[in-house]
Structure 1
Amino acid sequence: MNPYQSLPRRSFWRSAVAEPDMLAVGELWTPKFTIGPDDPVLTAGSCFARHIGPALLEHGMNWREVELPPPGLTAAERRARHYGTFSFRTGNIYTAAALRQWLSWALDDVAAPDEIWSEGGRFFDPYRPAVDPDGHPSAEAALAARQVTLAAIRNAIVEAGCLIFTLGLTEAWQDRDAGTVYPVCPGTRHGTFDADRHIFRNFTVAEVHRDLSVAVALARTVNPRLTVLLTVSPVPLTATATGEHALTATTYSKSVLRAAAGQLAQEFEYVDYFPSYEIVTGFPFRGVFFAPNLRTVTSEGVDFVMRHFFDAIERRAAGAGPLPRTGTRPTRPTEASDGGDLLCDDAVLDYYNAG
């Protein structure tokens, strides 16, 4: 006997990935904790995360949008002002450092900077410059609007059951003096770039893990019951400031985020990882869920991801686990089952695949 003889079909590449039709690949996620239909769920993160909240709501789950739009706005105006996109009007939170920053301002009595950008007589918040596309009439109004969002974050975290956070990037621009990170490079969406002040950062696994750990600890300080579900956006980088090719820079970024999220999920029972990144970009799916620009995830791709999510949540709620294996193979294999894998030492493990 050896440990591979009792593994389920989903543990083997051939039976779990290579042989099934790509739409039949399943059991990609076994949730560590339940998310019930009445549990308040918050969503935040990169641009891919904007799909999650509305999908939860449509499925009958208790997604919380804690900053509601004022009356009179059209649907287009609500979207442009980031209503109905995430639980809070923070705009996209691409990095773990930015999540830590927002939660520190909202939950830890850390004073947010009073920096405001002025352009054409209007005033913009550097830490969410896209949330109010027309800006504010004064710097004071911009800062007051941020305080509304910080209060909403605090109130929502205190009452939440689960926070779903989607990691998007490792690259960010940081204020050299204040140490704060921006969601986009100054000068690209409002503001003015200052090479002496604005420095480029490409966070490491250790740094992402540190920032995630602090962010989760902050949230659970005010709500010890909170669970956190991490995921990684499958959307590649639009551009990289590293000087590398966009493809290799994307690989670095997503690998770092995936590793840090996975490590945190291993360390804490109240943190889990959902594989939206793998579901879209994995080998068996052959890139079919990307639009022709090879970056935008199609609506079919979003639906496919959420189908896996809801299927797993419902299995968890029903108490269903993986199917048991029956039967063993008493003799040891003498050669790899696939001649093309003869140079791969671990190819012998497919012998124990009963599928």
Structure 2
Amino acid sequence: MRFEQASPESLQCARLDNGAYNDLRALVKSEIAGDRAQPVSPYTGLADYQFWRRAIERTPQEKVDPVVSGKFKITKAERIATAGSCFAQHISRTLGSSGFNYYIAESAPEGMSAEDGLSRNFGIFSARFGNIYTARQLVQLFDRAYGRFCPMDTEWMRTDGRWADPFRPTVEPDGFLSEADVERSREAHLSCVRSMFESLHVFIFTLGLTEGWRAKHDGAVFPLAPGVAAGCMDFERYEFINFGVKDIVDDLNSFIRQLRTVNPGAKVILTVSPVPLIATYEDRHVLVSTTYSKSTLRVAAEEVASHHHDVAYFPSYEVITGAFNRGAYFEADLRSIRSDGVEHVMALFLRHYTNTVTAIRKPESSSIGAWMEAEEAQKVVCDEILMDT
């Protein structure tokens, strides 16, 4: 009743003179006038590459670019070393044929033909270590090179009576004549591996698999199970392992820490191979195992790269397997990668991680690319193919 007796002009409140209440009055006024304010979405104003419709649906296949920007640049003077699964070979060939300093620490003996060198794994990677499918293999390679790990498995016998190195069982297609030959070759190889780690400027590692086989007695991990290319499977001595995200993250971080001890300035680029598994030892469909393996590797690579300023992730996996290309980058076997897929990947690599946009060219015959000029060099050397023969 008292408020009814008072005039509106006589009602005063100092708090209502605050600027915040003036904004409130304006908002109420706009509501009354029917001019409702539109809320601002946190996605408003983001870059085109952050939206599927703009970055994928409305973008021509060959223009899709999931890299956006490289973490650092590589110059043509820097020594670039590669290791990993089969797909890593495409990277090394492109770098070598584009005028970059692709570093080969373990070269074929003088006088050996390009074909013979290729068949013996010279020049395929920066050293003659064959396929390194898992991060655990990479860590153990480093440890073996520096005498920190001496596996009990030193040589495996082949079915033809010759010998193989358990950690690179296919580098000698005809096998070694004796156990002593295996040891001599290994010593020379590990010496080259040390030179590679100590001299490289950039190390590109392609993660390929989570599945592997290891020795129960010392934890040594092999690229192929005993009995596939050499040796004999003994389930009392060897066991199957399927690495998880934490395993891979720990292994990669361990490798990076150790690399820093011999080469503090080295930069690392991680990629994930888009090549599906040739076979799985898990009791499930190979497609399910492939999805698990690649997803696990992808997550691990992201976690490691995000915690190191000089470790980058390059999305070759996404370019080849992305829905945007409708499977066009796979051969008829839905596993091998077509040349146009490789070209798309490497064009992005050159654009974002180098200062060159020069078209890929063939190397001079006198350069490190002599082996790449051979017709056989266009084939990818992949140890795991022996699992399905």
Same fold (TM over 0.5): yes
How far apart are the structure 2 equivalents of 1:79 and 1:116? 22
What are the equivalent positions in structure 2 for 1:216-231 lying under 5 Å apart? Answer: 216-231=256-271
Unaligned stretches of 5+ in structure 1?
318-355
Hey, what's the Cα distance between the residues in 2 that align with 1:285 and 1:241? 30
2: CA distance between counterparts of 1:272 and 1:31?
8
When residues 290 and 26 of structure 1 are mapped into structure 2, their CA distance, relative to the original with a 3 A threshold, is: same
CA RMSD of aligned residues (A): 1.6
Q: Aligned match of 1:297 in 318, 337, 342?
A: 337
What is the distance in 2 between the residues matched to 1:167 and 1:98?
11
For residues 172-230 of structure 1, what are the alpha-carbon distances to aligned partners after superposition, in whole Å with 9 as ceiling and x for unaligned?
01111121011011111111111221100000000011111111111111111011100
Distance in 1 separating the partners of 2:148 and 2:215 = 20
Do the aligned residues in 2 keep the contact of 1:38 with 1:61 (CA within 8 Å)? yes
For residue 238 of structure 1, what is the aligned residue in structure 2? Answer: 278
CA distance in 2, matches of 1:80, 1:242: 31
Deviation at 1:109, TM superposition (A): 3.0
Supply the distance in 2 between the matched residues of 1:46 and 1:266 (Cα, whole angstroms): 22
1:39 to 71, 78, 81: 78
Question: What pairs with 1:113-192 in structure 2 (closer than 5 Å)?
Answer: 113-119=152-158, 120-192=160-232
The residue identity in structure 1 corresponding to 2:43 is Y
Q: TM-score, normalised by structure 1?
A: 0.86
Q: CA deviation at 1:316?
A: 9.7
Q: Which residue of 236, 251, 254 corresponds with 1:214?
A: 254
- Counterparts of 2:96 and 2:356, CA distance in 1: 19
Residues 313 and 43 of structure 1: is their aligned pair in 2 closer, same or farther, counting only changes over 3 Å? same
Cα deviation for residue 108 of structure 1 reads 5.7
Q: Deviations over 1:46-66 (max 9, x none)?
A: 011111112101111111011
* Pairing 1:1-355 to 2, within 5 Å after superposition: 3-26=42-65, 28-107=67-146, 109-119=148-158, 120-314=160-354
SS of the residue corresponding to residue 247 of structure 2 reads helix
Q: Read off the aligned partner of 1:224 and give its amino acid letter.
A: P
Cross-structure match for 2:20:
none
Work out the CA distance in 1 between the residues paired with 2:68 and 2:175: 42
Q: Which 4+ residue blocks in structure 1 deviate beyond 4 angstroms? A: none
Using the alignment, how far apart are the partners of 1:303 and 1:287 within structure 2?
Answer: 15
Shift of 1:231: 0.1
Which of these two proteins has the greater Rg computed from alpha carbons? 2
SS at match of 1:4: coil
- What secondary structure sits across from 1:301 in the alignment? helix
Measured after TM superposition, the shift of residue 90 of structure 1 is: 0.5
Contact 1:166 1:233 in 2 (8 A): yes
Q: C-alpha separation between the residues in 1 aligned to 2:150 and 2:228?
A: 26
* Aligned 8 A contact 1:117 1:126 in 2: yes
Asked whether the 8 Å contact 1:107–1:219 carries over to 2, the reply is no
Contact 2:269 2:313 in 1 (8 A): yes
Kindly state the Cα deviation for residue 304 of structure 1 after the two structures are TM-superposed: 1.5
Residue 233 of structure 1, CA deviation: 0.2
Aligned-pair distance for 1:76? 2.4
How many Å apart are 1:314 and its aligned residue? 3.6
Question: Structure 2: which 5+ residue stretches go unaligned?
Answer: 1-39, 358-389
Q: Is contact 2:134–2:209 with CA below 8 Å preserved after alignment? A: yes
Q: Is the 8 A contact 1:231 1:276 kept in 2?
A: yes
**Cα contact 2:153–2:166 (8 A) shared by 1:** no
8 Å Cα contact 1:174-1:180 kept in structure 2: yes
CA–CA separation in structure 2 for the residues paired with 1:7 and 1:221: 41
The answer to whether the Cα contact below 8 Å between 1:213 and 1:264 also exists between their aligned partners in 2 is yes
TM-score (norm 2): 0.79
| d(CA) in 2 for partners of 1:93, 1:26 | 28
- Aligned-pair identity (%): 41
Tell me if structure 1 keeps the 8 A contact 2:282–2:289: yes
